[in-house]
Amino acid sequence: MHALSSLELARAIQEKKLTAVDAVSACLDAIRKIDGKINAFVSVNEDHALSRAAVIQNKIDAGEELSKLAGVPIAVKDNISTKGLMTTCASKMLDGFHPIYNASVIEKLESAGLIVIGKLNMDEFAMGGSSETGAFGAVKNPWDNSRVAGGSSGGSAAAVAADEVPLALGSDNGGSIRQPCAFCGVSGIKPTYGSVSRYGLVAYASSLDQIGPVGRTIEECAVLLEIISGQDGRDATCIMQKPFAFTEKYANNLNGIKIGLPVNYFEKGIDEGVKKSVLAAVNVFKDAGAQVCEFTMPLTEYLVPAYYIIAAAEASSNLSRYDGVKYGYRSQNAMALKDVYRISRNEGFGMEVKRRIMLGSFVLSSGYYDAYYQKATDARRLIQSVYENLFKQFDMILSPVAPTAAYRIGENIDDPVKMYMGDIYTVSANLAGIPAVSIPCGFNEQGLPVGLQLTGRAFSEAKLIHAAGEYQNITDWHTRRPGSAS
């Protein structure tokens, strides 16, 4: 059963070869056997998942039309609200918190007949690039358990790569879906900002956050994105009137597609194994009919600073609600009100969250707002203008996802600047609000997965999915599983 894709699994259920209960039971068995090694799950809702599977199976048996993924198990990142199921953001601050409502994407999953079986580990409040900063310990890469799974959606990518679940949801704030997908050898989509409701997503940086799918193939991610996208009156930033419908028929090649290749991304700071794999993928796109044109990406020196100033500023505002009074953990050591705030936040938040709150408070403070935050927002507008001009020349941009493959657990955790620079290729898509996909494209010398990224203009997901799908039709990197790399 684990050899089946999510779409194949759904077809088998529809054809009565398997049941939804069989599928959920197989995933629960895999989690029990595997997750002790990779730590991808924070919680598993076994009884509810099995009873929900029985309900969905009855609907399928009755001929009710649900979706292409009806009966398929899925797990979701632990910053997405699930009614009655613990949602902690991998933080002591929210330990034991059980929401009283479902996020919009959870409602859509359930309406489509998917079965949420558990919540996935992550960096605390999605702040980190390695899934090491959470209160439940580091997520370990299924390809090498001594290495990180990437972050902040490391649990989402690791669970799919290890065949614990066929599909997962993550959130992407600056590469948080794409980078772990690259590190774990799976596929993922960071959708256009405003295409998927953020209602029920615990906020980190509200102008950057976006929920997206993780799967083995881009086709599975596309079908899942169709389900979770579309209008939601509870989220004013969700501007899509209708969900995506990737039904457009393309030729079985990439003739006429013009791809931009930022050559300065390959000049320094990138590992040779990553560079070799991505440039080899460029040749595959050329052979498939795409026209690849080199260019120099402007403003690269401003991407990471602008992103971290804006993200930290929004984080300091969003996380101010966790004060030990209105929300979150309350220290038993606090006697006076000012101690409730100070000690509860000190004990409830981890070091990376504290670092970003302090940075954000600093750049928003009197005397520094204009010098830092205002300049970062000015840089953001320039970055958006750069992409507007680039997409007058190109249909999409091809680049690495990250400058390295997965590094060892603990290797960079005490060097935040080095960690932040690992986001150099991904943060610009969030700053500009545009879509990007990550797909596997090879392995480095240590046998670790490498991913490539395709970025397009707003709401051009169909083109990106077509190009990524054509690449996966030609290559087999996405079919490799831990232990099968050559």
Q: Enumerate the domain spans of the chain.
A: 6-254+435-479
Residue 147 CB neighbours (<10 A) = 22
- Residue among 319, 414, 374, 383 nearest 128 (CA): 414
18 touches 9 (CB < 8 A): yes
Summarize pLDDT for 339-377 with one digit per residue, the tens. Answer: 999 999 999 999 999 999 999 999 999 999 999 999 999
For residues 61, 66, 70 and 76, what is the CA-based torsion angle, rounded to 10 degrees? -140
Architecture of domain 6-254+435-479: Alpha-Beta Complex (3.90)
Q: Name the active-site residue from 6, 81, 152, 460.
A: 152
176 is an active site residue: yes
User: How large is the C-alpha radius of gyration of the chain?
Assistant: 21
171 is an active site residue: no
- Determine what percent of the chain is predicted with pLDDT higher than 70: 99
The pLDDT, as a whole number, for residue 253 is: 84
| CA distance linking residue 65 with residue 113, whole number of Å | 9
Summarize pLDDT for 396-446 with one digit per residue, the tens. Answer: 999 999 999 999 999 999 998 899 999 999 999 999 999 999 999 999 999
484 is an active site residue: no
Summarize pLDDT for 77-90 with one digit per residue, the tens. Answer: 999 999 999 999 99
Q: Is the pLDDT of residue 250 over 90?
A: no
| CA distance linking residue 388 with residue 425, whole number of Å | 17
| CA distance linking residue 31 with residue 162, whole number of Å | 9
DSSP strand pairing (291-295 vs 258-262): parallel
Q: Name the active-site residue from 77, 119, 190, 463.
A: 77
| CA distance linking residue 101 with residue 245, whole number of Å | 27
- Residue among 21, 91, 110 nearest 353 (CA): 91
| CA distance linking residue 486 with residue 480, whole number of Å | 9
- Residue among 434, 384, 465 nearest 213 (CA): 465
Q: Name the active-site residue from 67, 91, 176, 344.
A: 176
Q: Where are the beta strands (DSSP E) in 344-483?
A: 396-400, 436-443, 449-456
Q: What is the three-class DSSP state of 456?
A: strand
183 touches 191 (CB < 8 A): no
Amino acid letter, 303: L
148 touches 141 (CB < 8 A): yes
Summarize pLDDT for 125-183 with one digit per residue, the tens. Answer: 999 999 999 999 999 999 999 999 999 999 999 999 999 999 999 999 999 999 999 99
- Residue among 183, 137, 168 nearest 410 (CA): 137
Q: Where are the beta strands (DSSP E) in 95-157?
A: 115-120, 140-141, 144-148
| CA distance linking residue 447 with residue 94, whole number of Å | 37
